[in-house]
Amino acid sequence: MYSFDLSEEQRLLVETVHRYATRSLRQAARQAEESSQAPADVLQSAWALGLLPATLPEEYGGFGEHSLLNGALYVEELAYGDAGLTLEILAPNLVAIPLLLAGSEAQKQHYLPLFAGEEMPKMAAAMLEPVILFDHRKLHTTARRQGDHYVLNGSKAMVIHAADAEWFLVYAHDEEAGSTQAFLVPADSAGLQVGDRNLWMGFNALQNHTLHLHDVQVGVAQRLGGEAGMDVTNVLNSSRIAVAAMGVGIARAAYEYARDYAKERVAFGEPIASRQSIAFMLAEMAIEIDATRLMVWEAAWKLDQGRDATHEAYLVARYAADMALKVADGAVQVLGGHGYIREHPVELWLRNARGLFTLVGAVMV
């Protein structure tokens, strides 16, 4: 049967996160961006929502199950509040979800309970590299097998929470397996060095750094995949859904802001929204947002059913990227010169929409 209604639980989830996103994230976003500092209390209250533990099974300290659809629902709401802070909030997921999906039983038993505590765990994922033409299948960071350990070499970019991480999940090209592999590396490993803070067009509050690995030794037991490499498909699909849902969230924020503004702003004696060239832009935005959300839901639903939806997840991540950028750009346009001024959030959303897919999206599309 086709149905587009949220279950009672999902409605509650969406309402809760929406409230948090509008009351906390949206309020904190501008100040965070301008001061390049995410407020600790806001992040702590996000952690207190328990979103990540709710996707982890009980045996690993959580109280729920992994559902991409639920993930898509709450991620859209978070990004509706602010995409930059959302990345900060979701940073632990970038380690926990790969562990859950690709880790060994022993690794899950050992590490996953760390994600169910009172404090946000100090864990950072390192996938992206400071290169153009990035491809997760052909990483420049290498892992060379030497007996019972690997030697890692290379540089990583946009490692969120690198500065105070205790563990890193480092993705590297396993030369022996000829594919991508991920390693849990302690922060105090010799040869591992946190580099400069990365500065971008947007996401200025995001604590993210370059990470350098110079002959870093890590035991075989710290490897997520098996001898033949790690199956990154599920991990990537999970990220694709999340990033596409973020795109929907950013777009919806921009669209609603522009819509409300257009009804208030008077030019030539009428609200600008009563002109077709503005009204039609807004209608197109609404249509595109709905279409993208439906694609996100469908792909997530299929994956939750255990079906193969890699291609769908890939397609929607791309589509959401274009859509979010177009909608955010349209929102700036609807506000005219005022949209260009940092008093309004739309210029920030335009920067964030671009950054989301340049940085995060590059990883999976």
Partner 1 sequence: MPIEFEIPESVKNQSNLTEMVAEQVIRKVSRYFDEHEHERPWEYINFIWPFIQQMEAANLKRSLEVKKNGHGKASGNGQKKQSTFQVRMIHMIENLSWGDAGIYLCTPSSALAGAAIQAVGTPDQKERFLDRFTHGKPKWGAMAMTEPQAGSDTSNIQTTARLDPETNEWVLNGEKIFVTNGSLASRESEGILVIWATLDRSLGRAGMRPFVVEAGTPGMTVTKLEEKLGIRASDTAAIVFQDCRIPYDNILGSPELKKPGARTEKGFKGAMKTFDSSRPWVAASAMGIARAAFEFTRDTLAAQGITIPVDAAYHELSAIQRDLLDMETQLKAGWLLTVRSAALMDAGQPNSLEASMAKVKSGQVVTRITQKCVELLGPLGYSRELLVEKWMRDAKINDIYEGTGQINTLIVARRILGYTRKELK
Kindly tell me the sign of the dihedral angle through the C-alpha atoms of 139, 140, 141, 142.
positive
- Which residues, 6+ apart, have CB-to-CB distance to 297 below 8 Å? 4, 69, 72
Q: Which is nearer to partner 1, 137 or 147 (CB)?
A: 137
Interaction of residue 67 with partner 1, rule CB under 8 A: no
Query: Pick from 318, 338, 340, 358: which binds partner 1 (CB under 8 A)?
Result: 318
Q: Which is nearer to partner 1, 170 or 296 (CB)?
A: 296
Q: How far apart are CA 91 and CA 359, in angstroms?
A: 14
Query: Pick from 7, 31, 35, 37: which binds partner 1 (CB under 8 A)?
Result: 7
Alpha-carbon 211 to chain mean position: 19
Contact between 47 and 89 under an 8 Å Cβ cutoff? The reply is yes
What is the helix (H) or strand (E) element at residue 196, kind and residue range? strand 192-197
Interaction of residue 234 with partner 1, rule CB under 8 A: no
Query: Pick from 20, 319, 335, 347: which binds partner 1 (CB under 8 A)?
Result: 319
Shortest Cβ 300–partner 1 spacing (Å): 9
Query: Pick from 66, 209, 223, 259: which binds partner 1 (CB under 8 A)?
Result: 259
Looking at 58-66, 105-113, 207-215, 304-312, which segment touches partner 1 (CB under 8 A)?
A: 304-312
Count of residues that interact with partner 1, criterion CB under 8 A: 49
Q: Check residue 360 and report its DSSP letter.
A: I
Interaction of residue 282 with partner 1, rule CB under 8 A: yes
Instruction: Tell me the CA distances in angstroms from 278 to 129, 263, 275, 353, one per residue in order.
Output: 40, 10, 6, 21
Interaction of residue 294 with partner 1, rule CB under 8 A: yes
Rg (CA), the chain: 21
Q: How far apart are CA 289 and CA 267, in angstroms?
A: 27
Q: How far apart are CA 99 and CA 109, in angstroms?
A: 10
Q: Which is nearer to partner 1, 141 or 292 (CB)?
A: 292
Shortest Cβ 273–partner 1 spacing (Å): 5
Q: Check residue 363 and report its DSSP letter.
A: G
Interaction of residue 4 with partner 1, rule CB under 8 A: yes
Q: How far apart are CA 132 and CA 222, in angstroms?
A: 29
Q: Which is nearer to partner 1, 155 or 292 (CB)?
A: 292
Residues that bind partner 1 (CB under 8 A): 1-7, 10, 69, 133-137, 236, 259, 262-263, 273-274, 276, 279-280, 282-284, 286-288, 290-292, 294-295, 297-298, 301-302, 310-316, 318-319, 364-365
